Amino acid sequence: MKRPEEVQRNLQPVVELRAEGASFAYSVRAPRSKGVIPPSSYKNSGFVTLPECLRDVAKALGVDFKRIYVRLDGHCVGERDIVELRVAPEKVAAELKTECDALNALHIKPAAISAQKKSGPVAAE
């Protein structure tokens, strides 16, 4: 028999946050199951700031869920309690952005190293 926290974890939705030009949008879907990524069941867009977007996520999901998985601009950036989105969206947005930037740096670094290897060592002046 599954423990209550395991059941809640299985019911935890994935919120995909993304920048769309000068605004932000999000979509909600169920977690991946057996390698299959389910389609989004809800979408909303046109938020001027990421914290504004997070407030709407809390409003939309806070009645039914306590925690969510979060993806930002294609990167998994962890899990969050809905209450955090409601009471401190600016702080959460900054933390998510920092995590996303760190993941972007990891993805850029191997490509830069590969390019340097192909072009050869840089001569010292």
Q: Give the CATH number of the domain where residue 21 resides.
A: 3.30.420
How confident is the model at residue 87, as a pLDDT?
Answer: 97
Using a CB cutoff of 8 Å and minimum separation of 24, what contacts does 58-65 make? 58/82, 58/83, 58/85, 58/86, 58/89, 59/86, 60/28, 61/13, 61/15, 61/28, 62/86, 65/11, 65/12, 65/13
Asked whether residue 38 is domain-assigned, the answer is yes
Asked whether residue 96 is domain-assigned, the answer is yes
Asked whether residue 125 is domain-assigned, the answer is no
Which residues lie closer than 8 Å to 46 by C-beta, 6 or more apart? Answer: 23, 25
What is the span of the domain harbouring residue 46?
Answer: 4-119
Asked whether residue 88 is domain-assigned, the answer is yes
How confident is the model at residue 11, as a pLDDT?
Answer: 77
How confident is the model at residue 1, as a pLDDT?
Answer: 47
How confident is the model at residue 124, as a pLDDT?
Answer: 42
How confident is the model at residue 125, as a pLDDT?
Answer: 39
How confident is the model at residue 107, as a pLDDT?
Answer: 73
Asked whether residue 67 is domain-assigned, the answer is yes
How confident is the model at residue 37, as a pLDDT?
Answer: 87
Chain position carrying tokens 């009471």: 87
Asked whether residue 41 is domain-assigned, the answer is yes
Domain count, the chain: 1
Q: Mean pLDDT of successive 10-residue segments in the chain (125 residues)?
A: 48 93 96 88 96 97 94 93 96 95 76 49 44
Asked whether residue 20 is domain-assigned, the answer is yes
Asked whether residue 124 is domain-assigned, the answer is no
